[in-house]
Each structure stands twice: as C-alpha cells, then as structure tokens.
Chain A
Amino acid sequence: MLEINNLHVKVEDKEILKGVSLKINAGEVHGIMGPNGSGKSTLAQVLAGRETYEVISGEVLYRGKNLLAMTPEERAREGIFLAFQYPVEIPGVSNLYFLKTALNAIRRHRGLPELDAMDFLAWVREKMKLVQMDESLLHRPVNDGFSGGEKKRNEILQMAVLEPTLAILDETDSGLDIDALKIVARGVNSLRSDERAILLITHYQRLLDYVVPDRVHVLYDGRIVKSGGRELALELEKRGYGWLEEETNVGVVR
C-alpha cells in the first residue's frame, strides 16, 4: 500500500529525514517510535503533503502512484488521513460543517452521492458513539478551546467519519488518560481491515497493548535504525533509545 524509498527531507536548509525506507502492506498496522526531534512528525506531515518540508530525494508510492506529486487534498481523497500531533484550531468554522464538507469532498471524488444535512448527522452521530464524544463539540468551532483530550478524540472522530485507506496517527495517544486511550484504540481497531493500513507514531508502548502492531520501527535522527515485532516496543520502553546508538552504530552524538 505504502512504499517509501530512501526519502530525504529538509526544512530551512536542515536535513531532517536522512534516507527513510518503509513498506506497509494492506491489512497491516505499523508503529513508529523514536526520541523527540527524530523526525516522526516530519515524516507524517510529508506523507500528508505539507509544503514547508522539502523533499530532496527519494520516492513515495501509495497504491502504486507517486504520492509526492499529489496535493494534500488529492491525497486525502485517495484515502490518506493524518491525525495531527497538534490539531489546528479554526475559529469561526463549526466542527459539523467542517466534517460534512470534508466527507462530501471525499465522497464526490469516490463517485458517491453527497450526504445532506440529515443523513450526515445520522452518520456522524453513529461515529460519535464510537469515540464517546459529546455532541456539543460538533457545534463548536473546530478544535477551538477544546481540551487536549477533546482535540485527540476529534481527530479520531474525523478518521472514523472519513474512513481512510491509510491512517497515520501522530502521537494521538499522548496526554490521554487510560480511558481516553482505550477510546482511541477502539477507534483505530474498528478501522482495521484487510484493505486498510495504519501507521501509529507513539512514544508509549501502552497504545500498542490495545492496538497490536505487525511491525515496530525506530526512527532515530532521521533514519529508521531498527525494525522488529511488537516486543521491540517493550524493549524501547524499558531501555530507552541509548542502547541503539551502540548497537546500530548510527554514530550520532545528540
């Protein structure tokens, strides 16, 4: 589904991704862990089409197509969804209107009829149950004045409503209590299917207790320095990232 080959990315003349390669098949869940500043969000944002990051070299294929040539909205319509580490507040735009506009843009692209206000409301209510979000949040401006946890839930709600093919979650579990974490996990698990793939960026292996990954990768200073099964997450949590430096000989002093 997603194939990243030797991706180099810079921002403001600073190279951040220094040759990332990664392959995710349909039906799989991958986890990415790594210390602060290692480039996890950069990777996620580049996949979503953020233009402030400059791709120096490498390629990204999404279902066989050149992802990097697509605009952010084309990527979304083709089924890519990024749950932001820091969801953006948009005063003046109601959450409901935002979700409906997004869903209908994607449905149009897929050749499906647009949902009217009534059908949409029924659709979104169904999804809200899944994330146990208060309906009043639908009528508030997007993320505006939402608590940290509400913002994260709102990301999961959007994901549930838009039903992406490839979902990338950038630290959606950070700052959540255990109940909220379970809700996020439930949202992710409900999306899991043979036709979909999920990329979970996280600092904590506890999310991976609830959403069991097929593979775990360590991103360290812009490179994937180690990949393994879910046990790798446990090991990272126990030992931190220091040992990787010797073992993998990445030779970077931080």
Chain B
Amino acid sequence: MSGAAVNAPEAQNIFLSNFERLAERRSGKDPSWLRAIRQSAIERFAQLGFPHARMEEWRFTSVAPITKIPFQLAEREDQTVTIDQIRPLMFGEPEGQRLVFVNGHFCPEFSQLSSIPQGMIVTGLEQALERYPDRLESHLARYADIEQQAFAALNTAFIADGAFVYIPPGVVVEAPLHLLFLSTAPGPPLVSHPRNVIIVEPNSRVSIVEDYASVNESPCFTNPVTEVVVKENASIDHYRLVRESLQAFHIATQHTHQGRDARYLSYSLALGGALVRNDIRVVLDGEGSECILNGFYLVKDRQHVDHHTRIDHVTPHSNSREFYKGILDERGRGVFNGRIVVHPGAQKISAHQENKNLLLSKQALVNTNPQLEIHADDVKCSHGATIGQLDADALFYLRTRGIDLEAARQILIYAFARDLISRIEIAPVRTEVERALGAKLPDAPAAESAPIN
C-alpha cells in the first residue's frame, strides 16, 4: 500500500482537512440547510473520533487498518475509468436500468435509464440537490444517526453525491434498478462517501441493487450511507452487494424507515473487501409493517466482515424476520450482531432471527451475538445462532456414492447456502453469489427447507 503510515489522530486530521477542501469547493453551490448539516456532522465526527475496541459496538472489529492509511478525498477529476472496465461488472440486460458511480461521483456517461415510469426520479444526488432541493430537504440526513455513529457522521460531513431514487405514489417499477458504485485508486489511496436516498411513496414497489465493486486492486475506502423511506403500503426489495477487492475497506450505514403496512426486504451479500462493516438499521414505524433482513457473507483469505443489524419495533402489529448465513474459510473473520428492540407499547409483534455459520478452516472465526431488548409483553420473539462445520457423515455418504471429496465438499457448501441463494430473485445477483462461492448446482431443482420469505 502506498503512503506513509499514520496514526488515528493524524488520520482524523486528514479527514478534517479533506473537509475544508470540500467545503471550499462546494461553497455557494449547496443550499444553506445542507451546509449546516455538513458543518455539524464534521464537528460531531471530530468529537467522536474513530471507534475503538472498548466500544461495545466495535468489540470485534478494529478500524485501525483504515486509520493507518492517509486517504485523500476522491475527486471527480481523478476519474480514469473506461467503459471497458465497467462492462464486466454490469448485469447485462439490454433494457437494464443502471446508475454508475466512480468513487462516489455519478457518471451519466456510463449510466442507462430507459423508459422509467412517469414521475419517477433516478439520478445523482448532486444533480438532485440542484433540481429537487425541497424534496430532499425533508429526507436527506433525517434518519442516519450521526450522534452515535462516527462513520455516518463522517459521511454526512462529506455529502456531495450518490444516488437519489424517488418512486411516486402508486407506481410499480418492473425492472430492477442497478446502482453500481465503483472504487478505484490508481494513485494514492482514496476515500469516497456516497450518500444515497431512496424514497418509495405509498402503494409503490421497486427492486434496487446497491452494488459496490472495484475496477482494480487498489487501496480504497468506501464509506456509504443509504437512507430508505418506505411509505404506507409500499414495498422495496433492496439488495446490497459488496464485491470490492481485497484491498478495499467498506464501512456502510443503512437506515430504513417504514410506514404503515410497508414491506422491506433487505439482502446483504458480502462477498469481497478486506474489511467490511455493514450497519443496517430498520425502524418499523407503522402498524402492519414488515421487514425481512436476509444476509450472506462469504469470508476468506484474511477478510473481516461485520454485520450489525438493528430492528426497532416502534408500533404494534409489526413483524420482522432476519436470516443471516456465513461461510468462513482460511483466516476469515466474521461478526454478526443482531439487535431487536421492541419499544414500549409495541404489542402483538413477531420477530424472528437466525444466524448460521459454516466454518471451513480451523483458522476461521466468527462471533455471533443476538440481542433482544423487549419492552412490551405481548410479543413473539425468537432467535438462534449456530456455528458448525461440514457434516462428516454427509461427506462420507456422498463419497460412498462415487462423488470425490472436493465435489462432495462443494455440494455441502452450496447446500448450506442454497435456501438463501435460491431466494435471490434477481438472476445476475444470484449468479454473482454463486460465482463467488465457486459452486453451482447446474440443473438441480430447488430443494427447499424452511421458507424465508
């Protein structure tokens, strides 16, 4: 990695000076409310500093590797990516809807939007701030918690670009929307802070794939924040794919706010990155609202992947189901922390959580930790976590039928993950996961166990 090593306070100073540059560059361009948000966020970040291992939420994940690298803020001008580098990362469908971002900057030249429904807005946040400032003001930075979360504060301080998706009331968007975020740092290490806002108005429906990939192996730090608002009786399938290189750092904050009868399906698929942390928070703030949080992490080499999820049942009659699976090989390290908070008065809710892990090597490690905080009495909650290895009896059984050891292992690894994978409704996303898994059961009809959604 290039650049001299630095220490945490120094790293913090680098971010603060990055901020000065941004503030100067954006002065006069942005609305004053946004400048005020940015200013208070950088102040909050300066107070909070980087998280450390003595903090409960960061017990198992050290961000020291990030603080040792002097990341410079990625500018639009640094952009050297060509369409040929992007093509392999696209999902292929000619009619596909796609926004491409390079180091957090929206690139219309690589993006493609054909026939979007009337009234729907899909664009870069920078453009949206110019064209729809009022619509943004009521949502942007209203959800993510910058008081407690240093990285969300850091992102907020650097709000400049990202994706803005607005689905008007009563619209069903058929084609999935692919938001492709590319990171690259051919020169010195670069940081980007994509800021995404997704608003689904009442009775609408959309599928979005938020996808983070690298165009090359280079030291990048991606620090996105995504705010999702799902209004009354609206529905969103939100896939989050991290497939960056083994030199990439990725710390993401996601916050979803649901209204009455709103449905939210989240799929977090963590396949790449050296250090990945996904903070996913869902607030069920409407009767009849329901969320399904599915996740799959595949951790190898010396990768470290941490999922911290939190579901807040604020209103009665809200349901959540959470189902995360991890496969850990070599010296991979996984963390799953699933918190469910049932607020006082939130009766008649049901919340189920499950985390299953498959360890493929002796050096692999996972920490799994369910946390239930229940402040109501008429609730149905359950949780379970398992950590296991490949079943030796099953391996032997397969081998006694003529299937060689390696193939037998692949079959069992795939079998472990298949219920999660088979429910990925967007074929190219499923293919991507299968490719990372290095396994695929070509013509096997689905052999389902317990349904997830």
- For B447, the chain A residues whose CB sits under 8 A away are 91-95, 97, 139-141, 144
User: What bracket does the count of chain A residues touching chain B fall in?
Assistant: 35 or more
Q: B397-420: contact bitstring with A at CB < 8 Å (1 yes, 0 no)?
A: 111111111011001101110110
- Residue from A90, A95, A140 within 8 A of B415 (CB atoms): A90
A105 contacts B403, C-beta separation under 8 Å:
yes
B400 contacts A76, C-beta separation under 8 Å:
yes
- Residue from B393, B402, B441 within 8 A of A102 (CB atoms): B402
Flag whether B445 is at the interface (Cβ < 8 A).
Answer: yes
Complex Cα gap A54–B445 (Å): 38
Minimum C-beta distance from B448 to chain A (A): 8
Flag whether B113 is at the interface (Cβ < 8 A).
Answer: no
Q: A96-B444, A97-B441, A97-B443 are in contact. Are A91 and B449 (CB under 8 A)?
A: yes
Among the 9-residue stretches A2-10, A19-27, A80-88, A187-195, the one with 4 or more Cβ atoms under 8 Å from chain B is: A80-88
A140 (CB) vs chain B CBs: closest residue: B447
Complex Cα gap A97–B403 (Å): 12
B402 contacts A105, C-beta separation under 8 Å:
yes
Minimum C-beta distance from A58 to chain B (A): 21
Flag whether B396 is at the interface (Cβ < 8 A).
Answer: yes
B413 (CB) vs chain A CBs: closest residue: A92
- For A106, the chain B residues whose CB sits under 8 A away are 402
Q: B424-453: contact bitstring with A at CB < 8 Å (1 yes, 0 no)?
A: 000000000000000001011111010000
Complex Cα gap A48–B393 (Å): 13
A75 (CB) vs chain B CBs: closest residue: B400
Q: A50-B396, A105-B407 are in contact. Are A94 and B401 (CB under 8 A)?
A: no
B392 (CB) vs chain A CBs: closest residue: A52
Flag whether A162 is at the interface (Cβ < 8 A).
Answer: yes
- For A144, the chain B residues whose CB sits under 8 A away are 447, 449
Complex Cα gap A94–B441 (Å): 10
Flag whether B116 is at the interface (Cβ < 8 A).
Answer: no
- For A84, the chain B residues whose CB sits under 8 A away are 397
Complex Cα gap A76–B403 (Å): 8
- Residue from B401, B408, B443 within 8 A of A117 (CB atoms): B443
Flag whether A123 is at the interface (Cβ < 8 A).
Answer: no
B415 (CB) vs chain A CBs: closest residue: A92
Minimum C-beta distance from A207 to chain B (A): 22
Complex Cα gap A55–B405 (Å): 21
A92 contacts B416, C-beta separation under 8 Å:
yes
Flag whether B394 is at the interface (Cβ < 8 A).
Answer: yes
A104 (CB) vs chain B CBs: closest residue: B402
Complex Cα gap A103–B411 (Å): 15
B401 contacts A71, C-beta separation under 8 Å:
no
- For B391, the chain A residues whose CB sits under 8 A away are 88, 90
Q: B380-401: contact bitstring with A at CB < 8 Å (1 yes, 0 no)?
A: 0000000000011110111111
- Residue from A89, A90, A91, A117 within 8 A of B398 (CB atoms): A90
A49 contacts B407, C-beta separation under 8 Å:
no
- For B449, the chain A residues whose CB sits under 8 A away are 91-92, 141, 144
Complex Cα gap A49–B395 (Å): 12
B396 contacts A72, C-beta separation under 8 Å:
yes
- For B401, the chain A residues whose CB sits under 8 A away are 76, 98, 101-102, 105, 158, 162
A101 contacts B400, C-beta separation under 8 Å:
no
- For A30, the chain B residues whose CB sits under 8 A away are none
Minimum C-beta distance from A33 to chain B (A): 23
A80 (CB) vs chain B CBs: closest residue: B400
Complex Cα gap A106–B391 (Å): 23
B414 contacts A92, C-beta separation under 8 Å:
yes
A83 (CB) vs chain B CBs: closest residue: B400
Flag whether A73 is at the interface (Cβ < 8 A).
Answer: yes
Q: A91-B449, A94-B444, A140-B447 are in contact. Are A48 and B415 (CB under 8 A)?
A: no
Within 8 A of A (CB), among B361-395: 391-394
B444 (CB) vs chain A CBs: closest residue: A97
Complex Cα gap A151–B49 (Å): 60
Q: A84-B397, A90-B394, A97-B441 are in contact. Are A109 and B411 (CB under 8 A)?
A: no
B408 (CB) vs chain A CBs: closest residue: A73
Q: Which of B404, B419, B447 has the largest number of chain A CB atoms within 10 A?
A: B447
Complex Cα gap A91–B445 (Å): 13
Flag whether A77 is at the interface (Cβ < 8 A).
Answer: yes
B394 contacts A109, C-beta separation under 8 Å:
no
- For B408, the chain A residues whose CB sits under 8 A away are 73
B393 (CB) vs chain A CBs: closest residue: A88
Q: A71-B405, A76-B399 are in contact. Are A96 and B445 (CB under 8 A)?
A: yes
- For A98, the chain B residues whose CB sits under 8 A away are 398, 401, 411
Within 8 A of B (CB), among A21-73: 48-52, 71-73
B444 contacts A49, C-beta separation under 8 Å:
no
- For B396, the chain A residues whose CB sits under 8 A away are 48-51, 72, 88
Complex Cα gap A144–B448 (Å): 10
B418 contacts A92, C-beta separation under 8 Å:
yes
Q: Which of B392, B396, B446 has the largest number of chain A CB atoms within 10 A?
A: B396
Q: A92-B415, A94-B445, A101-B411 are in contact. Are A49 and B402 (CB under 8 A)?
A: no
Minimum C-beta distance from B401 to chain A (A): 4
Complex Cα gap A97–B443 (Å): 8
Complex Cα gap A76–B419 (Å): 30
Complex Cα gap A94–B392 (Å): 18
With A76-B401, A101-B401 known, 9 other A-B pairs at CB within 8 A are: A72-B400, A76-B399, A87-B397, A90-B397, A92-B415, A94-B446, A96-B444, A140-B447, A144-B449
6 residue pairs of the A-B complex, CB under 8 angstroms, read A72-B400, A73-B399, A90-B412, A93-B411, A97-B441, A144-B447
Q: Which residues of A contact B (CB under 8 A)?
A: 48-52, 71-73, 75-77, 81-82, 84, 87-98, 101-103, 105-106, 109, 117, 139-141, 144, 158, 162
The 7 A-B pairs at the shortest CB distance, nearest first, are namely: A92-B415, A97-B444, A102-B401, A94-B447, A76-B402, A72-B399, A88-B397
